[in-house]
Structure 1
């Protein structure tokens, strides 16, 4: 592995989702970077690396929820779940403020909502696996 590939791999590992950036652009950039860093790697290896960096580069709370929902072997499915979670967070900005104002009740309510959402995402994954 030459110096250019080391730089490319470093660029790949430093790539995070930028504020306002779409998930598809972020994913495309990760694929481009891994192809440049590891052109001889097989497609499965590259996909696993892209999925790992995709999760790593997402906002921490989104990444944690996706990881808690169980293993996903499809990048498209992972992107859909991330988009869903990010949309939910964007639609509920008032809940974040209320959680700060009334920590005990709001934290418990949000914890329950996250648990419910995690179960729903896991159920969706199970249904998709059984239908395939």
Structure 2
């Protein structure tokens, strides 16, 4: 059972993001704590606390390497900073992660690939 797979959040600063997948019984279930930590990045971005958001994103990657959230959240941090090329790299890493890890659907992969393409196009 998964929650949030097709939902999208749009921040007042114009960043569209999927909520983290919450899948129980999948190969990569996400804990409530991890979900809260991931959501805190989005709240920090919304409040323009980008250094703190980056630190939490790094924590997500280090402490939860089997979750996609760290890559997606880093992409959002760099997007908010206007560093589109770096954001594109993190969205690409999220897509690559989703391609090789079980439990991710084609829609999730395509979402991150489209974000990477969009960031690269905006950089030009």
In the superposition, the TM-score normalised over structure 1's length comes to 0.29
**Relative contact order (C-alpha < 8 Å, sep 6+): which is higher?**
1
- Report the structure, 1 or 2, having the larger helix content: 1
- Report the structure, 1 or 2, having the larger strand content: 2
In the superposition, the TM-score normalised over structure 2's length comes to 0.30
